């Protein structure tokens, strides 16, 4: 009977020690600087009038999207902005979203480059 009591006391002490250790406050680490986001950097470049790079689709199953990116890039390089503006992008998959954002960044870069060209002496 005495051995059972000693075992109960030992378990109780271990529980108390674990509780005390869990309540010890550890010093917090200093917050890290947020990593720069690639889409934010591309958007900032477009606002400065820098044309975005054309995405390269490596997926063999989605090469038909690469043709669309190529077409938009060719129209933008030729300065034919009306077809770029009126290009419709249907769908909501990853590549359709990439195409929409590429078109939007092209138009944004064109608008800001035209605006800076007008204000330049």
Residues composing the chain: 121
Query: What is this structure's pTM?
Result: 0.67
Confidence (pLDDT) at 3: 78
pLDDT of residue 120: 58
pLDDT at 66: 94
Q: How many CB atoms lie within 10 A of CB 121?
A: 2
Q: Give the Cα-Cα-Cα angle 78, 105, 119 (nearest 5 degrees).
A: 75
Quote the pLDDT of residue 17: 80
Rounded distance, CA 103 to CA 116, Å? 20
All structural domains of the chain with their residue ranges: 38-119
Residue 60, token pair as written in the block: 């063999």
Helices H / strands E in the chain, number of each: 5, 0
Q: What is the pLDDT of residue 46?
A: 83
Centroid of chain to Cα 31: 20
Low-confidence stretches of the chain (pLDDT beneath 70): 1, 117-121
């Amino acid at each position: 009977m005495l051995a059972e009591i000693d075992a109960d006391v030992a378990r109780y002490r271990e529980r108390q020690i674990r509780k005390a250790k869990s309540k010890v406050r550890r010093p917090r680490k200093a917050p890290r600087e947020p990593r720069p986001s690639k889409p934010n950097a591309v958007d900032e470049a477009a606002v400065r009038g820098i044309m975005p790079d054309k995405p390269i689709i490596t997926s063999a199953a989605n090469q038909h999207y690469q043709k669309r990116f190529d077409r938009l890039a060719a129209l933008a390089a030729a300065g034919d902005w009306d077809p770029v503006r009126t290009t419709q992008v249907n769908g909501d998959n990853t590549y359709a979203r990439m195409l929409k954002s590429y078109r939007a960044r092209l138009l944004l870069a064109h608008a800001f480059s035209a605006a800076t060209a007008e204000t330049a002496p």
